[in-house]
Amino acid sequence: MWNSKRLVLAHLWFAFAGFGAALLLGEWQMFIRSPLHAWISDPEWYYRSVTAHGTTMAYVFPTLVAMGFGYFVAEEALKQPLVGLRWAWLGFALVAIGTIAAIVPVALGLASVLYTFYPPLIGNPSYYIGVVLVVVGSWVWVALMSINMYRWKRDNPGAPVPFPMFATVAGSYLWGWTAVGAALELLFQIIPVALGWRSTIDAGLARVFFSWTLHAIVYFWLMPSYIAYYTIVPRAIGGRLFSDTMGRIAFILFLVVAMPIGIHHAFEDPQIGSGFKYLHSVFTALVALPTVLTVFTICASVEIAGRLRGGKGVLGWLAALPWRNPVMLGAALSFVMLGFGGAGGLINMSYQLNATVHNTQWITGHFHLIFAGAIVIMYFVIAYDIWPHLTGRALDSFRLMRAQLWTWFLGMIVLTFPWHWVGILGMPRRMAFYDYTDPAIAAQAASVTMSVVGGAILVVSGVLFFIVLVHGMTTQRVQPGTYRFSVAVRPPRVLPAALNGFGLWLGLMVALTIVNYGFPIAHSLATPGTAVPAVKVGERW
């Protein structure tokens, strides 16, 4: 590790601190609207909390993990000092300042608009400007990832870019482009109204812009976890990566098809034509492909490890796997949650099936299972794996790590399965109050109570996570040695240019965006009378 240890640690600590606070808010929300607690009478507190929880968990936490892990990969995979360290600190400062600028008005009740903004609701401008600063700070990271890769390629002409770096740059490009949608919405629509320059807003167009960001942002959250599947898991369990090429193709597919599919979040929006909804539905189905490739490749890689450890027969290799290794355990639990979450996702992306679960608690259950479950559990694994290389101290509380991963998994299942269930029963999401005394929903009380218990297990798991990390800052100093990523069964010697760079794929990504979003956006812009009066939040009108 050359010179970015403190940088990576700063990113991860800030990310995890935000995660810890937002986790508590999440459980509080679950509790106060459950049958276990009397109605708090003022829904504003609930929405304030949801806004803080969502903003921290969706924008700040995963962005900082992706950035910190990206800087780590850039140095360790390319075996060269990070180019642009000062710029990286500037990016971090922008994210940190942006977070504070966004969260303070939320805490004061001046921007209870939820992290998805929901115009025509308009909150305090500081909230939106803070979110923009977070995005701009992350764009510094996008640029640095690109610069570091191209600097390396210049110095190593013709050599294959190490896979961890290739995948990280794919993730950064995906984020760089997908964040443009929300940035356009904020800069040209919301912030002018929040600052009082305009009094009306085209909420339909804003929703189209946000959908541009809203789906691919999930794949941006997913990227560090997928990179860990490919580059950490096989090495940590003593195996080999089954195919380097398959990995590159999976990340390329994410880059191309994760972006132009967001309108499946707006299936019920009347301002978008049904043809575009269908088009987005088709490309959403395609984005399952890189996940299928990944599941296949990682299972094959894990099987290699099992057989190298002496496992025999059709399933005997499973028993031979090092299940006591937190990386193995975390990856397996992540896959289980990814399987359930992905199956639910297939429902959401289908135009007709979506109508049965749209805006119900099913959706909340779905994205928690995928993001907070499958993705975040791998963030824990990443932290456990790289922590000794960042701190120079042993991270040896394996029993605690296993307990933490198991409780996170169990808590997430107990939280989200009842959510899915009540969603099917029709329970709407984003509501502060449910009257469980009404016979119509009295039967849902038990399921909701179960979710509260799941949330409490997650809080316990969160506490264990911090105990492991803090303990890891105080143990004896060790020499962790050189950090190693997984090695492929057949490491690439020469790669076609298409698998060693991004020009072609960025071109396809932008072209598909124009095809899938160009007309709906142009149509909204060209249609008169689509703006509605803004509704200011946090002001008495």
What are the residue numbers of the active site? 215, 219, 366-368, 429-430
Of the residues 21, 24, 35, 43, which one makes contact with other proteins according to CB under 8 A: 43
SS3 content of the chain, % helix, strand, coil (to 5): 70, 5, 25
Binding of residue 146 to other proteins (CB under 8 A): no
Q: Which of 2, 44, 292, 319 binds other proteins (CB under 8 A)?
A: 44
Q: Is the Cβ of residue 262 or residue 472 nearer to other proteins in the bound state?
A: 262
# chain residues binding other proteins, by CB under 8 A: 47
C-beta of residue 104 within 8 angstroms of C-beta of residue 128: no
Binding segment (CB under 8 A) for other proteins, from list 67-75, 272-280, 297-305, 478-486: 272-280
Placement of tokens 């269930």 in the chain: 421
| Min dist. Cβ of residue 121 to other proteins (A) | 12
Sign, CA dihedral 181-376-302-69, equals: positive
Q: Give ∠ CA 288-304-241 in degrees, rounded to 5.
A: 55
When the beta carbons of 278 and 323 are compared against other proteins, the nearer one is: 278
Query: Quick check: 435 binds other proteins (CB under 8 A)?
Result: yes
CB count within 10 Å of CB 3 equals 10
256 binds other proteins (CB under 8 A): yes
Minimum CB–partner distance for residue 313 and other proteins (Å) = 39
Question: Of 350, 23, 62, which Cα lies nearest the Cα of 178?
Answer: 62
Tell me: does residue 282 bind other proteins (CB under 8 A). yes
CA distance 305 to 303: 5
The C-alpha angle 507, 176, 363, rounded to 5 degrees, equals 105
Residue closer to other proteins by CB (options 434, 465) is: 434
d(CA 271, CA 524): 8
Residue 292 in the binding site for other proteins (CB under 8 A): no
Residue 156 interacts with other proteins (CB under 8 A): yes or no: no
Q: Find tokens 């006591």 and name the residue.
A: 324
Quote the least distance from Cβ 511 to other proteins, whole Å: 8
Among 139, 283, 371, 421, binds other proteins (CB under 8 A): 283
**Minimum gap (Å) between residue 295 Cβ and other proteins:** 22
List CB contacts of 470: < 8 A, sequence separation 6 or more.
none
Does 251 bind other proteins (CB under 8 A)? Our answer is no
499 contacts 161 by C-beta, under 8 angstroms: no
Query: b/e string for 488-502 if b means 16 or more Cβ within 10 A?
Result: beeebeebeeebbbb
* Residue 51 or 407 with smaller CB distance to other proteins: 51
Written as one letter, the residue type at 390 is: L
What are the residue ranges of helices labelled H in 156-269? Answer: 163-184, 191-194, 203-214, 216-231, 233-236, 244-257
Distance in angstroms (rounded) separating the CA atoms of residues 99 and 14: 10
CB of 532 to other proteins, least distance (A): 12
Which region among 129-137, 230-238, 301-309, 500-508 touches other proteins (by CB under 8 A)?
500-508
Q: Map residues 319-348 to x or -, x wherever contact with other proteins holds by CB under 8 A.
A: ------------------------------
Interface with other proteins includes 155 (CB under 8 A)? no
Q: Which of 251/283 has CB closer to other proteins? A: 283
Is the CB of 245 or the CB of 449 nearer to other proteins?
Answer: 245
Which one of 313, 352, 474, 541 is in contact with other proteins (CB under 8 A)? Answer: 541
C-beta closer to other proteins: residue 467 or 508:
508
Under a CB-based contact definition with an 8 Å cutoff, are residues 120 and 534 in contact?
yes
Of 276, 384, 408, 483, the residue at the interface with other proteins (CB under 8 A) is 276
Q: Note whether 35 binds other proteins by CB under 8 A.
A: no
> Would residue 202 be called left, alpha or beta, if left means φ above 0 and alpha means ψ between -120 and 50 degrees?
beta
CB atoms within 10 A of CB 288: 15
**Residue at token pair 């195919």:** 243
Q: Binding other proteins by CB under 8 A: which of 247, 373, 492, 520?
A: 520
In whole angstroms, what is the distance from residue 116 CA to residue 80 CA? 39
Provide the β-strand partners of residue 535: 121
Beta bridge partner(s), residue 393:
477
Taking CB under 8 A as the binding criterion, the range among 118-126, 277-285, 331-339, 364-372 that sits at the site for other proteins is 277-285
Q: How far is the CB of 253 from other proteins (least distance, A)?
A: 10
**359 near other proteins, judged by CB under 8 A:** no
Strands 535-536 and 121-122: parallel
Q: Which of 2, 188, 278, 323 touches other proteins by CB under 8 A?
A: 278
User: With binding defined as CB under 8 A, does residue 503 bind other proteins?
Assistant: yes
Q: For binding to other proteins (CB under 8 A), which residues are involved?
A: 39, 41-44, 199, 256, 271-279, 282-283, 286, 431, 433-435, 438, 440-441, 496-499, 501, 503-505, 507-508, 511-512, 515, 519-520, 523, 527, 533, 536, 540-541
